[in-house]
Amino acid sequence: MINRDELKDVLLTATREAGKIIKSNFNGIFKIDHKEGINNLVTEVDKLAEETIMAIIRGAYPGHSIIGEESGEFIKESEYQWIIDPIDGTVNFAHGIPLCCVSIGLLYQGSVTMGAVFNPVMDELFFAEKGKGATLNGEPIKVSSKNNFKTAFLVTGFPYKWPENTLEHPIKVFERMILEGLPIRRLGSAAIDLCWVACGRFDGFWEYNLSAWDVAAGYLIVLEAGGTITDFDGNIGTVFDKQTLATNGIIHKDMLGIIQKSGA
């Protein structure tokens, strides 16, 4: 296994360099294209940030596998797999909303071993290393201690394309949460949502149809901050799952109960 300090240095260097690109172009003029769906945007800044990240990783570890949101997958036969989202929250970024970030997760033998999420506009860098806890700008973070679900503060997101083979429309679950009288936010960046659960700003987060690059880093950050992540059946899965429920652990069962409740 490669020295962890070296891996961490490459991860944070790539994260910060991409962050510089985002910040220097924030509220600037740039080309915007559309992926699948008219509101699923990609900008030339996304592409430049991803190219920069990949160049740094390849320069240090040319044999490692890389999955980038904009570029696809490169070199599959490796124990190490870097999962990159150059800008999570591209729609926010394109509209000058400062809830956007770089997200990079590093898997070793299929398990997330390091992750970094950096919002350069707000200057917040979240980082976690497996077994060593999670930090925000170098200071340790923990999930909330909220134990009364009736007063929980939640966050969610909605996919641009509704997931197939889902028993009910995601709006139905959202409706049930709302009918509980719970305050719910929609920030537009799953990576930030997860990190804000990890540092206790939110008590829980759920979303359908996310991709690995949306959650790889935040997944580990939540776990290392003492939180819980499962699918909607309560099973512990991987960053490649299409259902994500992340909580402080205490209200997890309550959220599962509402998500799983059919009918109404």
Tens-digit pLDDT profile for residues 101-128:
999 999 999 999 999 999 999 999 999 9
**Domain end marker among 84, 114, 140:** 140
Same domain, residue pair 24 and 133 = yes
Same domain, residue pair 155 and 253 = yes
Same domain, residue pair 14 and 133 = yes
Same domain, residue pair 108 and 208 = no
3-class SS string, 124-161: EEEEEECCCCEEECCEECCCCCCCCHHHCCEEECCCCC
At residue 158, the pLDDT reads 86
Same domain, residue pair 159 and 254 = yes
- How many domains in the chain? 2
204-208 and 154-156: which strand pairing? Answer: parallel
Same domain, residue pair 124 and 246 = no
**Domain end marker among 140, 175, 191:** 140
Same domain, residue pair 13 and 131 = yes
Same domain, residue pair 109 and 19 = yes
Q: Please, what sign has the CA dihedral across residues 189, 194, 198, 200? A: positive
**Domain end marker among 92, 117, 140:** 140
**Cα(66)–Cα(124) distance, integer angstroms:** 24
User: Measured over all CA atoms, what is the biggest interatomic distance in the chain, rounded to whole angstroms?
Assistant: 54
Same domain, residue pair 222 and 118 = no
pLDDT in tens, the chain (264 residues): 689 999 999 999 999 999 999 999 998 665 555 545 444 455 688 888 999 999 999 999 999 999 987 666 666 679 999 999 999 998 899 899 999 999 999 999 999 999 999 999 999 999 999 999 999 999 999 999 999 999 999 999 987 766 565 566 788 899 999 999 999 999 999 999 999 999 999 999 999 889 999 999 999 999 999 999 999 999 998 999 989 999 999 999 999 999 998 544
pTM of this prediction? 0.92
Same domain, residue pair 114 and 12 = yes
Output the six-digit token pair for 240: 């490649």
Domain enclosing residue 101, as ranges? 4-140
Same domain, residue pair 208 and 116 = no
Same domain, residue pair 190 and 105 = no
CATH number at residue 194: 3.40.190.80
